[in-house]
Amino acid sequence: MHTWPTRVGSVLQMLDPAVGPRLVLERLWHEVKSWNTIGGIWMQCRPGHLTPSGTFMVGEAMSDAEEIAGLATSATAPIQTDGLPVVARQLRDGNVPIAILMVSHKTSEEAAAFLVDVLSRYCMDRLRVQLEVSELAEENQVLRGALSYDVRQHDILTNSGVMNSLIQSAVRAAASSATVLVQGETGTGKELLAKLIHSHSHRAHKPMVSINAGALSPGLLESELFGHARGAFTGADHERKGLFEVANGGTLFLDEVGEIGTEAQVRLLRVLQEKTITRVGDHTPLTVDVRIIAATHRDLAKDVAAGRFREDLYYRLNVVNLLVPPLRSRREDIPLLINHFLQKYNRQNFKNLDEVPRTVLEMLINYPWPGNIRELENCVQKAVVLAPSTVFVEELVPPTIRSYSENLPRESRPPAAQPQTPAVNPVDSLADALERYADAAGPDVGKFFQQAERLLIIYALTKERGVKLRAARALGINRVTLDRKLVEYHISVKRGQGVVEAASTATSEEGEAVEEEERPARLLSV
C-alpha cells in the first residue's frame, strides 16, 4: 500500500544543500503528496546558523506548531497531538539548536520519520556548505585586502616610517596623471616605486615600459624612444615604433633621466608639452597619451645650475618629487630584507640557510651599504650559494663588511648580546596563575572555563587582527561556533584591528547615561 520506499532515490536527489529550504520543501511536497500518508512538513531554521532563517511549511498547516516544536528532542521521535500525529526532531550544532523539523502523517510513521531524517541530513549538509562558502568569502576578502598597497607593494618590504610615508605619497600621486620624478641613490628601489605608482593608477590595465637612458648612446636613445621611419639612417630598412607608441595609454619609466643628451631633452620636452612625437627621419606628428615617471640618482637641481640639464624640462618632470632614502637611513628594514632574500635564494638554489646569528645580523645592520638594497641582495645571495650548512656564519660575510665592523670605534659598536633567559614552562605558568585566580575568585570550574574561553577567543582575534576565519582555526573551532561565542560573550570585532570594546552606556553619578567610546580590548592578567 505504501509507495514511499520505492521513491527513496527520487527524494534524496531533491535535497541539494545549495538550494534554499523553501524550494527544497516545495520539490519534496510535489513528490510526497502522492503517497497519501504525509499531512504536512514544517521546518524552522534558527537565525545565525542556517540561511535563510525562518519557518517554512508545505502541506496542511499544523495547529499549535510552536508548542509542538518545543517538545522536539535531538532524536527523531513521534509526538501525539490533537490533530495528525507528528514526527519531530531538533537539530543541534554541538549544544546549540539550529533547526526544528516536523512531519505530520496519517497512517505511516515510518514515512514521516524517513522524511525527518533526510531533511536533517539536508540541513547539516547545508550548514557545512554555508560554512565553506563563508570561509571562502573571508579568504577572498583577505586576498583582496592583500592587493591593497598596505600589503602588496611590489616587493617594497619596509618597517620604516619614512618609507611608509613615501609609499602613501606614491599611491596618492598614482591617482593623478602628473609626471613623477623619483630621486635616490643607486640600488634603493626607484623602479619598484614606479611600478607601484603604475599599478595604482587608472593606467594599470595598459603597459608600463621601462628604459635605462644612461645605457644608450644619444642617437640610439632617440630611436628607441620615438621610433624611426624607413631609411632614416643606415640599416633602417623598415619602420619601427618607439617606446612612446608602445606605451600609449600607459606609463613610460625613464631611468637615469639625468644622463639624456641635449637633443633628446628637447624632444622629450616637446612630448611633455604637446603630447605628440615625431619619428626619427619622419615629419608626421603622432599623438600619444603616456604618463612619464622619471628616475635619477643625480641632483638635477645642481645639474640645472651647472647647465647640464634644461631648466624647463626639469620643472616639467619635477611635478611630483619622491625621494627614496638610502638603506643606511632605514636600518630597521635590513633584517626584513635579509629574511626576504634568504627565502628567495633558498628556493632558487635548493638551500636551507635560515639561521642568522646575532653577531652577523649586527654586522650587516651597522654596515653603511653604499650599494643599498642591491648590494645587500648580492651579499645574501652569495651567502646562500656558498653556505655549507643552515647557519649564516661570519665567513660568508664579504671581507669589506667584516673589516668595516672590526674598525668601528668601540663606543659605536652595539652592546654585547645578553644571555637569554631560560624558557618558561607554560604549564607551570598556568598553574601559578590558576592558584592566584582560585584564591581571588574561588575554584568554580564552570565559571573559570567561561572566563578562560573568553580570554582565549579575545587573544586569538587580537593576534589575527580581527580575521575570524584564522582565529577560529587557531582556536580549533569552526567559524559558526566562533560567531556564536562572540554573541554569547558580547565580544565585538573590528577587522584589521581585532577585538574592541563596543560602545556601551554607563550611568554617571547624576544618573545620566554616558556612552563609552570604542577602544581596543586588553587582556588582563589573572
d(CA 47, CA 141): 24
Q: Which CATH architecture has domain 442-520?
A: Orthogonal Bundle (1.10)
d(CA 241, CA 264): 17
Q: pLDDT value at position 152?
A: 45
Fold of 328-412: Helicase, Ruva Protein; domain 3 (1.10.8)
Strands of 519-520's sheet in order across: 492-494, 498-501, 519-520
Q: Which of 91, 88, 92 is CA-nearest to residue 105?
A: 88
Side-chain-side CA neighbours of residue 398 (13 Å): 14
- pLDDT given for residue 424 in this prediction: 59
- Every domain of the chain and the residues it spans: 4-143, 161-325, 328-412, 442-520
Which CATH number does 4-143 carry? 3.30.450
Report pLDDT for 254.
93
pLDDT for the residue numbered 418: 43
Residue of 57, 139, 133 lying closest to 100 (CA atoms): 57
Q: Which fold has domain 161-325?
A: Rossmann fold (3.40.50)
Which pLDDT does position 415 carry in this prediction?
47
**pLDDT tens for each residue of the chain, 526 residues long:** 455 666 666 677 777 887 888 888 888 888 888 888 889 999 999 887 788 888 999 988 888 888 888 888 888 888 888 788 889 999 888 778 889 999 998 888 888 898 998 898 888 888 888 888 777 776 666 665 544 433 344 457 888 888 888 998 998 999 898 999 999 999 998 999 999 999 889 998 899 999 998 888 877 888 888 887 877 666 667 788 889 999 999 999 999 999 988 888 888 998 999 889 888 878 888 899 999 999 999 999 999 999 999 999 999 999 999 999 999 999 989 998 998 899 899 999 988 888 889 889 989 999 999 999 999 999 999 999 999 988 999 999 999 998 887 776 655 554 444 444 455 577 777 787 888 888 888 888 888 888 888 889 988 888 877 878 778 888 888 877 888 888 888 888 877 667 876 544 444 444 444 434 444 444 433 3
Do residues 514 and 524 touch, judged by C-beta distance below 8 A? no
Q: CA torsion angle for 244, 246, 251, 254 (degrees, to 10)?
A: -50
Cis peptide before 419 (omega within 30 of 0): no
Q: pTM, whole model, 2 decimals?
A: 0.52
